[in-house]
Amino acid sequence: MLRTAILAAARTPTVERLITNASVARSLVARYVAGDEVADAVRVSQELIADGLAVTLDQLGEDTEDEAGAAATTEAYCGLLDALAHAGLAPPAEVSVKLSAVGQRLDPKLATENARKICQAAAAVGTTVTLDMEDHTTTDLTLDTLSTLRVDYPSTGAVLQAYLRRTETDCRELAHAGSRVRLCKGAYAEPESVGFENALDVDRSYVRCLNVLMAGEGYPMIATHDPRLVAIGEERARWYDRTPDTFEFQMLYGVRSDEQRRLARDGYTVRIYLPYGRDWYPYLMRRLAERPAYVALFARSLVSS
């Protein structure tokens, strides 16, 4: 219930105004976001890479409403890739792109062409792109874009969400050689007709999907902080004789940092999802929805500020 309410607030302009102007939000944002500028993204990437981690960078922003905004986001990603290359960080840095930020709601073809420009810029500096997955109404469109982009850029990564009932089938289709697939639980509010409501059902689905990906021939990217699922990921890697260059763990910047470093020390590839930019509101709300314990604290600080 609380999760659904927070995710609904993520799309409510009055709540957005209240929260983005609150100083308490700024301090929470600092936990999850590198900073406002490309320079912040590069600096934090450098620190993470020095600690033995890889990164995937997200220029914050979604649901772009006009072509100019979509073009600006595309340019921003190309600029980011140049800056990463200039700093000698691309690779191991790659980028994660939300298709809604590059125009998917206006015209899926426009979003595909903008994403292609980002793939081109990534390939030019020797790295790649992963397409984030948004709510279920966009899943088919995003997978269509993925297959179009993979013709020329086969390393383009997909994201699949274990909370969707369809995902085990999607995993089977994408578990082929060369296919990079990030498996996460899913961060949006979805109706029961398409998604599992119960946390245990989501976890069970995650394990079924993980089994398909780890048994397959692709490159699974195990994106979770859940200690049980991380342990199952490690166990499946041993079972399927997967060496550290054939799969990776992924976690969000600011979440379970000690575990990120523990996995890296144990020889696993660990990639940190690192957002930056000023448009942090929906991202912060999804992080709050995952951590209801913060919400009471956050609400109290809002009232007293």
Catalytic residues: 132, 182
Closest CA to 286 of 101, 1, 10, 5: 10
C-beta of 117 vs 225, nearer to ligand FDA: 225
Contacting residue, 55, 85, 232, 252, with ligand FDA by CB under 6 A: 252
CA 98, CA 93: separation in Å to the nearest integer?
17
Check binding of 159 to ligand FDA (CB under 6 A).
yes
In whole angstroms, the minimum distance from the beta carbon of 95 to ligand FDA comes to 12
Is residue 5 a contact partner of residue 286, using CB atoms and an 8 Å limit?
no
Segment interacting with ligand FDA, rule: CB under 6 A, options 3-11, 64-72, 217-225, 277-285: 217-225
Segment interacting with ligand FDA, rule: CB under 6 A, options 77-85, 209-217, 231-239, 249-257: 249-257
Instruction: At 228, list the tokens.
Output: 């049980």
The angle subtended at Cα 119 by Cα 79 and Cα 160, nearest 5°, is 115
C-beta of 124 vs 231, nearer to ligand FDA: 231
In whole angstroms, the minimum distance from the beta carbon of 168 to ligand FDA comes to 16
My answer on whether omega of the bond before 91 falls inside 30° of 0, hence cis, is yes
Check binding of 170 to ligand FDA (CB under 6 A).
no
CA 145, CA 141: separation in Å to the nearest integer?
6
Please report, as residue ranges, which positions from 48 to 107 form the binding site for ligand FDA (by CB under 6 A). none
The angle subtended at Cα 305 by Cα 284 and Cα 9, nearest 5°, is 35
Check binding of 201 to ligand FDA (CB under 6 A).
no
C-beta of 153 vs 283, nearer to ligand FDA: 283
Neighbouring-strand partners of residue 219: 180
Is residue 244 a contact partner of residue 269, using CB atoms and an 8 Å limit?
yes
Segment interacting with ligand FDA, rule: CB under 6 A, options 19-27, 121-129, 147-155, 222-230: 222-230
Check binding of 224 to ligand FDA (CB under 6 A).
yes
CA 97, CA 119: separation in Å to the nearest integer?
10
Rg (CA), the chain: 18
Contacting residue, 77, 153, 188, 280, with ligand FDA by CB under 6 A: 188
Is residue 297 a contact partner of residue 288, using CB atoms and an 8 Å limit?
no
Contacting residue, 291, 295, 301, 302, with ligand FDA by CB under 6 A: 291
Longest distance between any two alpha carbons in the chain, whole Å: 55
Is residue 157 a contact partner of residue 129, using CB atoms and an 8 Å limit?
yes
C-beta of 73 vs 224, nearer to ligand FDA: 224
Segment interacting with ligand FDA, rule: CB under 6 A, options 4-12, 63-71, 78-86, 184-192: 184-192
Q: Which residues bind ligand FDA (CB under 6 A)?
A: 132-133, 159, 161, 182, 184-188, 223-226, 250-252, 255-256, 273, 287, 290-291
